[in-house]
Amino acid sequence: RPTILHRAYRLEKDLDTPAKIFFKYEGTSQAGSHKPNTALAQCYYNKMEGTKRIVTETGAGQWGSALSMAGAMFGVEIKVYMVRISYDQKPYRRILMETWGAKCVPSPSKNTKVGRRILAEDPDCPGSLGLAISEAVEEAASQEESKYSLGSVLNHVLLHQTIIGEETRMQMEMADAYPDIIVGNTGGGSNFAGQFLPWIRDKISGKKPDLRIICVEPEACPSLTKGPYTYDFGDEAGLTPLLKMYTLGHKFIPPPVHAGGLRYHGMAPIICHLY
């Protein structure tokens, strides 16, 4: 860090727009995404508490890759339940996790009660993040030296990711610019929240009341635009605490679109509160 803030000159030219377009690129980390920002922190604090093993889920494999990398750095064993459709579509992410010493299994699996139940109901189930979370939580809760780790949605994850927006503010100052519009994609919400939370204080305080912040979500899993704002579980089996969020329902299995990290039924409560 810091990661690069690019000025998209050629895109501006192709669009024939007077707007200045900047984009913050988080793909330069060893794991290839923004996820190490929270994976390193979570793995470090687990190590300090004497945790031997962390169990987690992953959609497209970015979070699983990041936590596997962090586990290798801090000497913590990592087990990853990877959503089955992404496990099949993205073998190189699985190889990356295994290269860092993690064990990666497709979800739903026969390792857990919830996985066996889903497979009995639908042997061809493509899986979902909510289901993979259930499997990871169930396994972590059943083993004394294991803990569960989540890579998005929750407040502490969004806090870790604000390094993205804090850097961007400094970089935009260097460019003598301030954004009129901030746009980002949302799955669980940590990536985009990491960018916009350091800016939204200017809007809330009245310093920049016209600042626009736009979340973009997949039509296949439109939690913000189609889901009710209510309390719901963060996982399919209802093992997590209830979260107040826009949700399509914790039993929702999204279509098997390629954007595996965006196939989550809910949204970060902080984003939902501000929406």
Contact residues for 72 (Cβ-Cβ < 8 A; gap 6+): 100, 101
Cis peptide before 2 (omega within 30 of 0): yes
**Right CATH for 36-150 from 3.40.50.2300, 3.40.50.720, 3.40.50.1100, 3.90.105.10:** 3.40.50.1100
Distance CA 37, CA 27 (A): 12
- pLDDT computed for residue 262 by the predictor: 87
pLDDT value of residue 28: 92
Alpha helices in the chain, H assignment, sequence order? 9-15, 36-48, 62-74, 84-89, 91-99, 113-121, 129-142, 155-161, 163-174, 190-205, 223-226, 269-274
Point out which residues pair with 96 in neighbouring strands. none
Spell out, as residue ranges, where the chain has pLDDT lower than 50.
Answer: none
The model's pTM is 0.93
| Confidence (pLDDT) at 151 | 95
**Domain coordinates in residue numbering, the chain:** 36-150
Structure tokens at 199: 């800016």
DSSP helix/strand/coil, 163: helix
Question: CB–CB of 237/140 below 8 Å?
Answer: no
* Phi, psi torsion values for 258, nearest 5 degrees: -70, -30
Contacts of 82 by beta carbon, 8 Å cutoff, 6+ apart: 57, 58, 59, 61, 64, 93, 94, 97, 104, 105, 106, 107, 132
